[in-house]
A = this chain, B = another copy of it.
Amino acid sequence: MIYITRRERFNAAHRLFREDFSDEKNLKVFGKCSNTNWHGHNYELFVTLKGEINPETGFLVNLKTLSKLIRETVITKLDHKNINLEVDFMKGKLASTENLAVGIWNELHDKIKALDADLHCIKVSESENNSAEYYG
């Protein structure tokens, strides 16, 4: 069993808030992350796969193939977008790093299965200090 990790990046705007909360309650619960005019991040996404090394190529999965899949499946939806308003798989969800990790897992899981590998971990890093990991 081998594990490989590919890093991709996306820059996006978001806001942490609930529509059923008042601005005051959103500020109390989510702090400055609830700013009504949005803020944003340079997100880093680490996608880890596990499986057997293919003896013909020495690869679990060609990282070029994996990079293309991640870009086409999730980066084009997230990069230079507003996570709350424009990302289909985040509609109706709080735009937290935790929920982003779960949402990206769901988008990628079956497509990685089709590459003869298993998705092992989605790690989303929001800043040099904060990150979330999801293992399914």
Contact = CB atoms under 8 A, between A and B. Distances in A.
Contacts of A37: 13, 81-82, 85-86
A132 B4 contact: yes
Residue from A38, A85, A94 having most chain B Cβ neighbours under 10 A: A38
Contacts of A86: 35, 37
Interface residues of A, number: 62
Name A's interface SS. Answer: mixed
Contacts of A7: 128-130
A122 B98 CA distance: 19
Given A32-B79, A94-B58, A96-B57, A134 B39 contact: no
A113 interface: no
B133 A5 contact: yes
Interface of A: 1-9, 11-14, 16, 18, 29-33, 35, 37-42, 48, 53, 56-60, 62-64, 67, 79-82, 85-86, 93-99, 101-102, 127-135
